[in-house]
Amino acid sequence: MTRCVVGLFDSGVGGLTVAGRVFEKLPGLPILYFGDTAHVPYGNRSPEELVRYADGIISFLTGQGARYIIFACNTSSSLSLEIMRTRHALPMMGLIVPGAKAAVDATRSGRVGIIATQGTVKSGAYERAIRSLSPGTVVYSVPAPRLVPLVEAGQMDGPDTERALHEYLLPLREQGIDTLILGCTHYPFLRPAISRIFGPDVTLIDPAEATVEAARSDMFGRGLLPPGDGVQPCVHRYFVSADAPGFLHAARSFLGRQAEIDVREVCLPD
Ligand code: DGL
């Protein structure tokens, strides 16, 4: 059985936090990663733009051999996943429903906070998913537009990052949440700084964990996973739409152990 190639995409380096979960939970499965660095940040793009970008990227990844797509971006999961399912035949998994379920399972007080991009917050996708699973859960959402540029610039701490995090998170702390969804795949890079603000009483949910778990069972159900015959070596490939050296630098520091990172710059029709 040939191994299923998994395609992942995001606006930039954030989706590497999802790729890391794939390496952990599905070792031996080759990935194709697309960072749409020509269009980062996605957070304030219109739904029409996000649909157009996702369409081009999924067609490209399919052409490169992807047989399964994991959306490694919450904004695209919120605003383009359902449309992509009607346009492309291959199976896809997004972050919202698994992330919402993980939060509903984790909360004891029924007060859940979300930080995410403006696009994700405005879409209401997490609120809808949480309410359909647990109508009594109260959800507080805060858009955090300054965080993605800080992460893309490698500023995981320092005064600007601390200031932005305090501004976004203190109102959530005042609402007495006990669970916080990191609703953008760039934010797990800020986890230590976020944990310092909330302390141990607030559970931080990285939706990537439940999403990759859900993708694994889905792939298994579809017969896309190889039989358990040990982990085979495999080659992962990375593509970006701009600034390959910048992405390579960031990817090396985030994925340290994945020293051999082959990044190619490709130009997709806009
Ligand atoms: N990392 C993406 C997300 O999860 C996109 C962030 C952005 O580019 O604004 O939403």
Q: Return the residue whose CA atom lies nearest to atom 2 of ligand 1.
A: 73
Same domain, 226 and 203: no
Q: How far is CA 167 from CA 17, 114, 125, in A?
A: 24, 14, 23
Same domain, 115 and 182: yes
**217 CA to middle of ligand 1, Å?**
25
Alpha-helical regions (H) of the chain: 16-25, 47-63, 74-79, 81-87, 96-106, 118-123, 125-133, 147-152, 159-174, 191-198, 207-221, 244-254
Q: Return the residue whose CA atom lies nearest to atom 1 of ligand 1.
A: 185
| CB 231, CB 22: distance < 8 Å | no
Look over the chain and give the mean of its residue pLDDT values, rounded to a whole number: 94
Is the model's pLDDT at 258 over the cut of 70? no
**Which ligand 1 atom is at minimum distance from the Cα of 184?**
4
pLDDT tens for residues 192-204?
Answer: 999 999 999 999 9
**49 CA to middle of ligand 1, Å?**
14
Nearest to 116 by CA among 75, 152, 82: 75
**Residue 257: per-residue pLDDT:** 56
Q: Does residue 270 lie within any of the structural domains?
A: no
Same domain, 226 and 191: no
Same domain, 176 and 116: yes
pLDDT tens for residues 156-181?
Answer: 889 999 999 999 999 999 999 999 99
Query: How confident is residue 249, by pLDDT bands cut at 50, 70 and 90?
Result: confident
Same domain, 199 and 136: yes
Same domain, 118 and 170: yes
Is the model's pLDDT at 3 over the cut of 80? no
Is the model's pLDDT at 135 over the cut of 60? yes
Report residues whose beta carbon is within 6 angstroms of any ligand 1 atom.
10-11, 14, 40-43, 73-75, 117, 120, 148, 184-186
**Residue 154: per-residue pLDDT:** 86
**Which ligand 1 atom is at minimum distance from the Cα of 43?**
9
**Residue 259: per-residue pLDDT:** 54
14 Cβ partners below 8 Å, 6+ apart?
A: 72, 73, 148, 151, 184, 185, 186, 187, 189
Structural domain harbouring 188: 96-207
Same domain, 112 and 196: yes
Mean pLDDT across the stretch 227-242?
83
Q: Does residue 100 lie within any of the structural domains?
A: yes
Same domain, 49 and 11: yes
**15 CA to middle of ligand 1, Å?**
8
Same domain, 75 and 125: no
Whichever domain contains 27, its CATH number is 3.40.50.1860
**Which ligand 1 atom is at minimum distance from the Cα of 145?**
9
Same domain, 56 and 148: no
**Which ligand 1 atom is at minimum distance from the Cα of 186?**
1
**206 CA to middle of ligand 1, Å?**
13
Backbone angles phi, psi at 210, to 5 degrees: -70, -30
Is the model's pLDDT at 263 over the cut of 60? yes
- Look up the pTM and report it: 0.96
**CA 39 distance to own-chain centroid:** 16
Q: Which of 207, 224, 244 is the last residue of a domain?
A: 207
Q: Does residue 1 lie within any of the structural domains?
A: no
Same domain, 87 and 220: yes
Active-site positions read: 73, 184
**Residue 262: per-residue pLDDT:** 85
Is the model's pLDDT at 2 over the cut of 70? no
pLDDT tens for residues 52-68?
Answer: 999 999 999 999 999 99
Same domain, 110 and 31: no
Nearest to 152 by CA among 189, 204, 110: 189
SS3 7: strand
SS3 229: coil
Domain count, the chain: 2
Is the model's pLDDT at 253 over the cut of 90? no
